[in-house]
Chains A and B, each alone.
Chain A
Amino acid sequence: MDEAFLETKKLHRFFGGLHAVNDVSFAVRRDTITALIGPNGAGKTTLFNLIAGTIPPHGGEVHFGGRPITGWKPHAIASRGIARTFQTTKLFLQMTVLENVMVGRHPRTRSGFVAGMLNLPWTWREHAEIEAKAMAILEDLGLSQYAGQTAANLPFGRQRVVEFARALATEPTLLLLDEPAAGLNIYETQELSELILRIRDRGVTCLVVEHDMSLVMNISDDVVVLDQGQKIAEGPPRTIQRHPDVIRIYLGENHVEDPQS
């Protein structure tokens, strides 16, 4: 149970002279929520992009489910069971909410150009299945009344949830959430944390980049702290809260408790 589900080994990534991710090794245990925190510019999103395959690493490895996925393209990684959401939601704005989620079924379905152009009968069954699964996910997340609406017309908070639905439609075993609470009000954040816990309880491991500390400390099983591209701490939330280096980067030198006193 404790063996690593997702593991990065000595990951490196440069942007010009900037060492955005510097020798980062960490592990995510199966069926847990792991939070990735750190100040702005710490390299959290870059690390996410390295795991999701959006950009290739300049060194190191990523292992998922015991197998290397280093340097794979995003679509291949999605097919292996890693889904993600984005810091700024990236919905297909001119498509309906239902269609957005239907695109999420892409890696679990297979009809191609020829079958599509000829409208072969077996694709009808596949289409019905895609639609039913997408609808079920929308219902589950309380979005079914928006199914036929154009995604662009939804309020921001709902768009976030649609992005969740779309990611879940790929049937991931690992979900990467990039600042899911950004721009949400306190009630929406509360709903969100319940949603993330629910997703975890269904066997989807979650890795969350988040600035909202109350959210992080409430829901995560493990916390990884990055600063200036390097991992500076890793452990359960209670330990991290008292970790001197973490307090130093968040609050400054003077707030570190003197162990003697």
Chain B
Amino acid sequence: MGGRRYIPIIVATLLIVAGQPVLWAIARPYYMTQITMSAYYALVVIGLCLLMGYAGQVSLGHAGFFAIGGYTSAVLTTCNLLARQNEVPITCFRSLGLLVERQDLYGQAMLCFSPWAAFVAALLLTAGIAFLIGLPVIRLKGHYLAMATLGFGLIIYRIVLGAPVFGQADGISNVPPFELFAGLEVNGRPPYRVQNYYIAWAAVLAAMLLAINLVHSRVGRALRSIHQNEEAAHSLGVNTFQYKLSTFVLSAVFAAVGGALLTHYNGSIGPSEVTVMKSVRYVSIVAVGGMANLWGALVMAIALNVLSLRGNFGTYDDAVFGMILIVIMLFAPQGLLRMPNLRWISTWFSRRSYG
């Protein structure tokens, strides 16, 4: 039902497939690397768009959730359990098939968690932390919610920077590739460039599919009603607290998926992923995309992150995103595509869908 909402997904798929030969033709295949990385950042933006644009709840802590996903994957796949392999929990994990033996850079034997086990653990841990943080915080509104989530982001940043297990200022490197299935692996080395372009886009389109379905569903309608008038929504039987909390957790999990996959792709993660400016960046991308506009957010996430990753903003990288946020809030709080003279683009692009 509602087949029309899937037309943009088909269009996007065609553009993505067409993009690959175009990049070869203009002799810029390495652009694929930045596009792949941007796609993983886009996962954070898609989740945040659900939270901010639809449920109407702001979060300035999403870099924190991205980091929890990334660092959990990194720690679990790089910690060497060989010395403790006879201890009870380790033998249990091993018999459950959660551990793999591999060699580090210098050929030393290592016993680590498999990327799949680490990935699942990263998502569960992120969901758990988002739930515990959300429980008190999601009751707050407006500026107070923004400040509380900002505080959460700062705490995660300081923990990452201070704790030796997270590599402090160096972060964690030598994170192994993530072998998915059928020979596909999340791996940033040049020979894997093309397949990773498609793996990242598959993840993004899957996330878009889930998000678009959600906003068109009964839950999506309830979320929009909370955004527009929380008291009325509550009086009509919408459990506003539960819906806001669930969306908060869901968007944190989207961020964690992005964080975990990008960490495997880059082979490392560092504290620069956890700074408050990263959270501001995600918020500004959702804002410039049009708040309640998943496709706008996705397009902006790819465009701005590719420019940023290619160094086009130079030393003004963070300043650019701060400026974007200020300008959007001042002149186009409904997002660029909702400005009167540009509205035809969004109506042409998304028709009668809310996506």
Contacts and interface: CB of A to CB of B under 8 A. Distances in A.
Interface in B217-252: 217-222, 224-225, 228-229, 231-240, 246, 250
19 contacts: A54-B234, A74-B231, A75-B234, A75-B240, A92-B232, A94-B224, A103-B221, A103-B225, A106-B221, A106-B236, A107-B237, A111-B218, A116-B219, A117-B213, A117-B214, A119-B213, A119-B216, A126-B218, A167-B236
Interface residues of B, number: 29
B210 interface: yes
Contacts of B235: 52, 54, 74-75, 78, 83-84, 86
B251 to A, nearest CB: 12
B291 to A, nearest CB: 11
B214 A91 contact: no
Contacts of B236: 75, 78, 83, 103-104, 106-107, 166-167, 169-170
B26 interface: no
A75 B237 contact: yes
Contact of B231 (A54, A99, A107): A54
Contacts of A127: 1, 217-218
A169 to B, nearest CB: 8
Interface string A92-114: 11110001001110110101110
**Residue among A83, A113, A118 with the most chain B CB within 10 A?**
A113
Nearest to A109: B218
Interface residues of A, number: 41
A116 B217 contact: yes
Contacts, number: 106
Contacts of A109: 218
Interface of A: 52, 54, 73-75, 78-79, 83-84, 86, 90-95, 99, 102-104, 106-107, 109, 111-113, 115-119, 123-124, 126-128, 130, 166-167, 169-170
A119 B216 CA distance: 9
Contacts of B240: 75
A126 B218 CA distance: 9
A81 to B, nearest CB: 10
B221 A99 contact: yes
Given A91-B229, A116-B219, A106 B237 contact: yes
B213 A93 contact: no
Interface in B185-237: 210-211, 213-214, 216-222, 224-225, 228-229, 231-237
Given A115-B217, A117-B214, A119-B217, 5 more contacts: A54-B235, A91-B229, A116-B214, A119-B2, A126-B218
A92 B232 CA distance: 8
B238 A103 contact: yes
Contacts of A103: 221-222, 225, 233, 236, 238
Given A52-B235, A104-B236, A116 B220 contact: yes
A195 B224 CA distance: 29
Contacts of A113: 214, 219, 246, 250
Contacts of B222: 103, 106
B224 A92 contact: yes
A102 B214 contact: no
Given A75-B238, A99-B221, A118 B210 contact: yes
B51 to A, nearest CB: 13
B25 to A, nearest CB: 37
A155 to B, nearest CB: 19
Contacts of B2: 119
B1 A124 contact: yes
A93 B228 contact: yes
Given A75-B234, A75-B240, A90-B231, A95 B224 contact: yes
A117 to B, nearest CB: 4
